[in-house]
């Protein structure tokens, strides 16, 4: 994967002294830098000029996050308006946007501030987490950083993971998940993680990665990074999401699963999630405009109750069953769960429908 290289950096004055700011500027010494009081004018410019997404990503903003870093995963059934089976997940929004160009990425039609943004007030994030954990000492939190940005793709610039991994290693009621399509794990190696950080990879067959996951690390690079993390004692995870239907999908996904288990011991795998390709109508239009050679908008997608389009239910349930069978052939005990699917799919594929608390507890027990 080619390292991200912005054309300019904007730094809010309130975080000029942040260690994250120092890390980024030290690693990008030749990039023009401008101090600003606020990002408001950039938002106004993006709305007035309607800059293209690639153009916006050429600017990196180091900002002060003024809202809450830590919140429930927005994939909850209350948010989506349908009876989904949720996994009691929480998210940390430490950054916003991604320099990689996956054709199916929902951020293209979701973010109203299209610039690459890193929230450099990490001390405030740690304080917020301490307060949340102390306030609920009998609850257990499973937390990820990959909602609005890749967890590790910019870590070589920011060093964000170092503080987070070492902080979570000291916690008694929380685990961290770092989800990525990169191989940027250098900062993780050698850390005292205490088994409280799961490093996970979004995975698809090489055919899909090469055609639809532009500027990402190759599947071989991701598996090598996963191997390095497993050797360091990290639990690792894999997300077969989105599963994508095409003529050779069965052969390619079966080969991918076999390669994962050939490279990574089953005892090191915390969990594997599955989820089907899904998109809004606006995202479908964006894919057609930005990636005219993509085959994804041509799929058999139908509207779902939450407003998203998914593969026709019998088709995606068939894909789930096959993938689950291939995983079970390699490891009967690895925890597998479906993301953003309802009780009907769970019942048909997994023969049971866990509650949010039950599923969350099962996933936590995979780590602690």
**Model's pTM, two decimal places?**
0.94
pLDDT in tens, 79-121: 444 456 778 899 999 999 999 999 999 998 888 788 899 999 9
Distance (Å, rounded) from C-alpha 238 to C-alpha 243? 12
Distance (Å, rounded) from C-alpha 148 to C-alpha 197? 19
In our burial notation (b when 16+ CB lie closer than 10 A, e otherwise), range 239-266 reads bbbbbbbeeebeebbbebbebbbeebee
pLDDT < 50 stretches in the chain = 76-82
Q: Check residue 210 and give its pLDDT.
A: 97
Is residue 243 within 8 Å of 276, Cβ to Cβ? yes
Q: Check residue 84 and give its pLDDT.
A: 67
Joined tokens for residue 338:
């479906």
DSSP code string of 285-296: HHHHHH-TT-SG
Q: Check residue 77 and give its pLDDT.
A: 44
Q: Check residue 112 and give its pLDDT.
A: 77
For domain 67-101+121-365, give the fold: pyruvate-formate lyase- activating enzyme (3.80.30)
Q: Which sequence spans correspond to the domains of the chain?
A: 67-101+121-365
Q: Check residue 87 and give its pLDDT.
A: 82
pLDDT in tens, 3-45: 999 999 999 999 999 999 999 999 999 999 999 999 888 877 7
Is residue 62 within 8 Å of 36, Cβ to Cβ? no
Helices (H), the chain: 19-27, 40-49, 53-56, 77-80, 122-135, 155-158, 160-169, 206-212, 219-231, 249-263, 281-290, 313-330, 343-350, 356-365
Q: Check residue 354 and give its pLDDT.
A: 85
Residue in this structure with the two tokens 């997404």, named with its chain if needed: 53
Q: 3-state class of 313 per DSSP?
A: helix
Q: Which residues contact 224 (CB under 8 A, 6 or more apart)?
A: 183
């Amino acid at each position: 994967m080619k390292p991200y290289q912005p054309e300019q950096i904007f730094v809010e004055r309130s975080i000029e002294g942040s260690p994250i700011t120092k890390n980024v500027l030290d690693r990008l010494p030749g990039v023009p830098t401008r101090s600003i009081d606020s990002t408001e004018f950039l938002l106004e410019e993006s709305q007035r000029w309607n800059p293209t997404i690639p153009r916006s990503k050429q600017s990196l903003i180091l900002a002060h996050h003024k809202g809450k870093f830590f919140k429930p995963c927005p994939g909850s059934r209350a948010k989506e308006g349908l009876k989904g089976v949720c996994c009691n997940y929480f998210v940390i929004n430490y950054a916003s946007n991604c320099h990689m160009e996956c054709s199916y990425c929902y951020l293209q039609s979701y973010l109203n501030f299209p610039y690459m943004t890193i929230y450099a007030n990490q001390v405030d994030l740690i304080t917020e987490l301490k307060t949340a954990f102390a306030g609920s000492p009998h609850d257990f939190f499973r937390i990820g950083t990959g909602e609005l940005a890749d967890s590790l793709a910019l870590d070589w610039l920011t060093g964000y993971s170092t503080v987070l991994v070492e902080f979570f290693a000291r916690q008694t009621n929380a685990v961290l998940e770092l989800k990525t399509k990169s191989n940027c794990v250098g900062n993780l190696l050698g850390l005292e993680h205490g088994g409280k950080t799961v490093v996970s990879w979004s995975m698809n067959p090489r055919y899909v990665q090469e055609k639809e996951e532009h500027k990402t690390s190759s599947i071989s690079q991701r598996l090598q990074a996963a191997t390095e993390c497993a050797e360091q004692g990290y639990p690792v995870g894999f997300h077969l999401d989105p599963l994508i239907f095409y003529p050779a999908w069965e052969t390619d996904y079966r080969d991918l699963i076999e390669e994962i288990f050939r490279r990574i011991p089953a005892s090191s795998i915390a969990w594997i999630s599955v989820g089907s390709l899904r998109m809004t109508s606006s995202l479908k239009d964006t894919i057609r405009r930005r990636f005219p050679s993509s085959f994804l908008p041509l799929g058999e997608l139908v509207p779902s109750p939450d407003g998203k389009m998914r593969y026709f239910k019998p088709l995606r349930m068939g894909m789930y069953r096959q993938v689950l069978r291939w995983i079970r052939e390699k490891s009967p005990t690895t925890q597998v769960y479906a993301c953003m699917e309802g009780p009907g799919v769970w019942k048909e594929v997994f023969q049971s429908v866990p509650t949010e608390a039950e599923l969350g507890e099962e996933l936590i027990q995979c780590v602690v």
